[in-house]
Structure 1
Amino acid sequence: MAADKKGAGVTAAERVRAALEQDLLGGALTPGMRLDEMDLATRFAVSRTPVREALKALAAQNLVELRPHAGAFVAEPGGEALIEMFETMAELEAACASFAALRARPVDRAALLAAHEACVAATARGAMEAFLDANNRFHDAIAEAAGNRFLAEQTLALRRRLEPWRRRVTWRAGIMPQSNAEHAGIREAIEAGDGPLAARCARAHLDTLQRDALVLLRMMKKAG
C-alpha cells in the first residue's frame, strides 16, 4: 500500500489505527460503541479500505470486536482483562497516593479536601453525576499532588478506559458512602505524610471497585 501523504512512510491504515488506538486506550471510545466505517472514513479523509485494515489490526489487539453482518464495536473486556486492568489501576493509584503523601503542597491538600467534601455532598443529595465528577476531581488531585507527570498521564489514561465500569458500579446501592469512607482514609494518610498507608488505602479502594465490576460483569453475562 502506498505511504500516506500526511506522514512519510506511514500508510493511511496505520494512521487510522494509531489514532483509533489512542481514542480506545484513552477512553474516548467506550466499550460496546459501534465504529461505523463510513463515519471513520469521513473523519480521516480516507477510503473505507484503510479503515477496514485499521479495524482488523485493532481486532488483533483485542481492542475492537468484528461481528459478522453487524460491523465493528469497541471490545468489552472479559473477566481476565478486567482484573488485569483493575490490578494495574490499583498499583498506579497506590503510587500516586504514596508520592502525594510525601510531596503534597497546601494547595494540593486543599483541592483534595474540596473534592472529598463535594463527593460527600453529592452523596447526601443522591446526585450520581455530581458524585462521579467530584470523584474524578478527587483522584485527579491525588495524581497532581504526586508530582510526577508521566505517572499522572498513565493513571488518567487507564482511568478513562475503566470509566464505563466505574460508572456502572456507582449505581450499586451503598457504593457512594463506601467510596467516601475509603476516600477519607486515603486523604487522612496523605495529610499525615504516611506514604505506605496511603498506598494501602488506595489499593483497597480499587479492590472494592474491581470486585463490584466483576460481579456486574457476571450479572450482565447471565442476562445476555
Structure 2
Amino acid sequence: MTLAATFAPSAAEPEPRAAATRADDLAQRLADAITSGALPAGTRLDEHTVAARFAVSRTPVREALRQLAAAGLIERRPYRGAIVTTVSPARLAEMFVAMAEIEAVCARQAALAMTARERHDLRAFHAGMAALVRVGDPAAFAEANIAFHERIYAGAHNDLLAETARGLRRRLMPYRRAQFRTLGRLPRSHAEHLAVTLAIERGEAEAAARLMREHLGLVEAAYASFAHAAPPG
C-alpha cells in the first residue's frame, strides 16, 4: 500500500498556515486513513513521500508522525522509517475501559465541584452543539466534543485527573473521531452529553459518573461498528 494509492492528488494548497496547524491537520488525515483501514498495517510512511504528497516541508511531517507514534498508530523502526501498526482489539478495549473510568471520575467530581458559572457554561456549550448535529458536520462536532469534555475535566478541579484524562484522550482520539462518521451517531452522542450535563447540573455525582461511563462504552461500540464496516485497504 502506498500513499499515492490512498489519497487523490491534492488541489491547490491554501495559503500557508502555522507549522503546528499543518502538522495537526496532517496527523488527523493520516490517522483517519489508518483507523478506517485505508492505510493498513505495514504501510511505510516515508517523510519525503508524505511531504511531497501534501506539499509541506518535512517539519510538520515529523511532528505529525510524532503524534501518530504517541497514539500508537505507527512505529518508528531503524532504517525503515515509520510503519503503520495495528492496535490489537484487546489493547484497544483496555484503553477504552480506562478512558471510561477516568472520565466517569471526572464527571463525578465535576458534579461535586463545579461552580454555578461552570455549570451554566457547560449547559450553554452543549446547547450550542445542537447546530452541528442539525447540519451533520462530524469534523466540527468532533472538535466541539473535545471542548465539551475539557469543560468537565476543568470542572472536576483536580489537575492530576485532568492530565490523566487528556493523556488517554490523545491516545484514543483517532478512534473516538472515527465513531462520529457512523450513521446517526451525532444526535445520539448529543443526547448522551445532555444526560451527563443534567446530572452534573443537579449535583448528582454517582449518576453523572454512571452516565459518562455508559457514554464512553457507547463510543467504543460506535467505533467498533465503524471499523467493522470500513472497506479494506
TM-score w.r.t. structure 1 length?
Answer: 0.69
Partner of 1:223: 232
How far did residue 69 of structure 1 move? 9.2
Task: Indicate whether 1:72 and 2:77 are aligned.
Answer: no
Distance 1:37 1:99, change over 3 A: same
Partner SS, residue 99 of structure 2: helix
Partner of 1:127: 137
One of 183, 208, 211 as aligned partner of 1:198: 208
Question: In 2, are the aligned partners of 1:123 and 1:177 still within 8 Å (CA)?
Answer: yes
Name the CA distance, whole Å, in 2 between partners of 1:160 and 1:71.
22
Name the CA distance, whole Å, in 2 between partners of 1:74 and 1:106.
46
Overall identity of the aligned pairs, in % = 39
Unmatched runs of 5 consecutive residues or more in structure 1: 1-26, 44-54
Name the CA distance, whole Å, in 1 between partners of 2:84 and 2:122.
33
Alignment of 1:138-217 (within 5 A): 138-217=148-227
Partner of 1:22: none
Question: In 1, are the aligned partners of 2:185 and 2:222 still within 8 Å (CA)?
Answer: no
Distance 1:217 1:89, change over 3 A: same
Partner SS, residue 223 of structure 1: coil
Question: In 2, are the aligned partners of 1:101 and 1:191 still within 8 Å (CA)?
Answer: yes
Name the CA distance, whole Å, in 2 between partners of 1:64 and 1:223.
18
Name the CA distance, whole Å, in 2 between partners of 1:113 and 1:119.
10
Distance 1:68 1:153, change over 3 A: closer
Question: In 2, are the aligned partners of 1:115 and 1:135 still within 8 Å (CA)?
Answer: no
How large is the Cα RMSD of the aligned pairs? 3.3
Partner of 2:62: none
Unmatched runs of 5 consecutive residues or more in structure 2: 1-26, 51-57, 60-65
Distance 1:134 1:69, change over 3 A: same
Name the CA distance, whole Å, in 2 between partners of 1:217 and 1:78.
13
Partner of 2:111: 101
For residue 169 of structure 1, what is the amino acid of its counterpart?
Q
TM-score w.r.t. structure 2 length?
Answer: 0.67
How far did residue 63 of structure 1 move? 6.6
Distance 1:67 1:218, change over 3 A: farther
How far did residue 198 of structure 1 move? 0.3
Name the CA distance, whole Å, in 2 between partners of 1:131 and 1:114.
15
Partner of 2:14: none
Tell me the matched-pair count: 182
Partner SS, residue 182 of structure 2: coil
For residue 189 of structure 1, what is the amino acid of its counterpart?
A
How far did residue 125 of structure 1 move? 1.7
Structure number, greater radius of gyration: 1
Name the CA distance, whole Å, in 2 between partners of 1:141 and 1:35.
35
Name the CA distance, whole Å, in 1 between partners of 2:106 and 2:129.
20
